Amino acid sequence: MRLVALSNLYQLKTLKRGNLNAGKTDISGTPVWQEDWNYDPTGNWRGTTSGYMTRRNRGSRGA
């Protein structure tokens, strides 16, 4: 199963894969996979951290 968490701005914050707990509110135990999305204070995507790698947004910074 997959479980996602959203920010107050409805941006994806966390994705977990594994077995849901009894209340279906989280993954029980250690997730098989987890990714976390990072944003700066203005809501721009900064990067993603997963169980295997970290990726950073290297978008344009000019003008």
pLDDT tens-digit map of 32-56: 888 999 999 888 989 888 875 556 6
The reported pLDDT for the residue numbered 33 is: 86
63 in a domain, yes or no?
no
d(CA 10, CA 45): 13
61 in a domain, yes or no?
no
d(CA 29, CA 8): 26
29 in a domain, yes or no?
yes
17 in a domain, yes or no?
yes
State the total domains in the chain. Answer: 1
Q: How many CB atoms lie within 10 A of CB 16?
A: 19
- Give the domain range for residue 20: 2-56
38 in a domain, yes or no?
yes
62 in a domain, yes or no?
no
